[in-house]
Structure formats: C-alpha cells, structure tokens
Structure 1
Amino acid sequence: MANDDIYQNLTMLGSETKAPQSPEEAVLERVPNPQAGTDYAVRFTAPEFTSLCPLTGQPDFAHLVLDYVPGDWLVESKSLKLFLFSFRNHGAFHEDCTVTIAKRLIEVLDPKWLRIGGYWYPRGGIPIDVFYQTGEPIPGVFLPDQGVPTYRGRG
C-alpha cells in the first residue's frame, strides 16, 4: 500500500468539520500504522479538557494525558480533538468521562496497550484524579511519567 493510500478514508483532516454535540455523535477516525510491528508509545495531552457536572451543569476541567502503544492503527488527531471537544456539553462524572474516552479509543484502535490519566481540577475543594490502563506496560517501550503533579492548592 502506497503511503498516500493510508489516508484515503479520512473525512475530517483537511476539511471543514462541524464539532460534534456529544461523545456519542463524535467519530474517531484511524489510519493504518506505517510502523506496525515496532513497539513505541504515542502521547496526547489535553490540558484544557472540559465537561459538565451531570447534576449542577457547572463546568468541570481536567488535564488529560493519554498514552498508547499502537498495533495496526493510529488515531487521527483531528478526530481525537473533536471527540474530546464533544464532552464540553456532556454531563458525566469525572470517572465516567475518563474511562469512556479510554474505552472508545480501545474500541476503535485495538492498541497493544493504553493508559489515561485524568487530572481533574478541584470542585468543592476536592480534586479527583482518574487513572485507567489496559494492563501491564509493554516491555522495552519508553513511557515517561505523565508529568502532572498532584494538586497542592495554595500550600
């Protein structure tokens, strides 16, 4: 397969795309991994992720760090950005948002390994950090620390 051919099924990249109104409406696109067979890590960081509290409707903010070791597929980054954006009007608790993101990516990509750290900013004085991973890291793959310190407040 020629390198240009691996991008032929993408519908969002390079075109004007309407932001999805919900995570259910959002489409995650994938492309064949040109380095399939080589174990390496990919990191996406979303330091300004937002969703809504399902009870109060007030905004919740998180710093998300997503690491995965791809198998045959890579996530197309514009579709990932729009998927994450779709949570802005979505009401769900921190735990549900974080794990839902991981499970959707697993469903679409079938990665060799995936982890997500959801570092949520305090609401009501309590920060909630949510972590999910699919199993033990792949031996020999460099996985840096996610680099987000625990919340310390003023003190």
Structure 2
Amino acid sequence: MTPKHLGQASSLPASPEAAVLDYVPNPRGGTAYLVRFAVPEFTSLCPVTGQPDFAHLVIDYVPGETIVESKSLKLFLGSFRNHAAFHEDCTVGIGERLVAEMKPQWLRIGGYWYPRGGIPIDVFWQSGPAPDGVWLPDQGVAPYRGRG
C-alpha cells in the first residue's frame, strides 16, 4: 500500500478513470468514527452543452481497514474538471468508486449542484444503513434559495 501521491509531485489526472486513489491503513481500526470531506468548489462539464457545472460535495464515511489519502482524493475530484457527465453520474460514481476500492463500513455523498437553467439539483447516495453508534451530523449545506 505505498501511496503514489503522498510526498510526491503529482499532476491532475486527465480523467476520473485515469486517477489513482491511494489508501492507507486505518490508524484507529476497530473504532467506529466518521470522516467528512467537504468539497465546496467541485466542477465538471455538462455532457450536452460542454458548459461548466459547479457543486458543493460532502462525503462522509466510516472507515473499515483503510482510509483514503486526501491528496489522491483531491486529484481524483479535480480530474472531473474536464469530464462531461450528468450531476447524478458524477455524484453516485464518486461514491461507488470509493466504496468499491476503500471498502468502508459505510459511505454517503451529497452533491449540492448550483442552478443551471434556474433549477438546482441535489443528488444523494449512500452505501447502506449507517453503523450503530456513529454520530451522523447534518451535511450542513442549506437548500438553494437564490434571491428569495
């Protein structure tokens, strides 16, 4: 499990598929705790118009044997900058990839997408029921209200 990115010069991957996520051993194995990544400046491209789409992502997970290394996660998420996909595909795909590779006890992702054409889209996905005894705070992203 030697990390590819930690302590190394790394460039932004050309695509999410080309991105390599690094995982390291959970330093608190056997303890149920929640890890949160807040990504307030996530970007991707509309697959129809090619215009940029912007979102605030919140990723919560309860680690299993490994945790995701944050630099590799930043590079993975940054690789969506030139990736054309619908909001649902980006949000759910990120969650599914992390679950498939990291194998956490539990993971949820909230994708709070900024309006295009006057309609904000929020996308939520989780891997299953949350483990007992884990504090699950609200994701803290207010519903979009515009000028109203």
Range into which the TM-score falls when normalised by the shorter chain: over 0.9
Which residue does 1:126 correspond to in 2?
Answer: 119
Offset at residue 99 of structure 1 (A):
0.5
Which residue does 1:81 correspond to in 2?
Answer: 74
1:31 aligns with 2:11: no
TM-score, normalised with respect to structure 2: 0.98
Q: Which of the residues 5, 12, 19 maps onto 1:12?
A: 5
CA RMSD of aligned residues (A): 0.8
Which residue does 1:42 correspond to in 2?
Answer: 35
1:56 aligns with 2:49: yes
2:135 & 2:12 partners in 1: Cα distance? 34
2:4 & 2:130 partners in 1: Cα distance? 32
Partner SS for 1:128: strand
Partner SS for 2:119: coil
Which aligned runs of 4 or more in structure 1 are off by greater than 3 angstroms?
none
Q: Which of the residues 108, 116, 128 maps onto 1:115?
A: 108
1:61 partner letter: F
1:61 & 1:37 partners in 2: Cα distance? 37
Which residue does 1:68 correspond to in 2?
Answer: 61
1:39 & 1:28 partners in 2: Cα distance? 22
Partner SS for 1:97: helix
Q: How many residues are paired up?
A: 148
TM-score, normalised with respect to structure 1: 0.94
2:90 & 2:17 partners in 1: Cα distance? 12
Write the deviation string for residues 68-104 of structure 1: whole angstroms up to 9, x where unpaired.
Answer: 0000010000000000000000000000000010011
Which residue does 1:21 correspond to in 2?
Answer: 14
Offset at residue 107 of structure 1 (A):
1.2
Unaligned runs of 5+ in 1: 1-7
Partner SS for 1:122: strand
Query: Quick check: which has more Rg, 1 or 2?
Result: 1
1:63 & 1:43 partners in 2: Cα distance? 13
Q: Which of the residues 65, 71, 87 maps onto 1:94?
A: 87
Percent identical residues: 70
Which residue does 1:3 correspond to in 2?
Answer: none
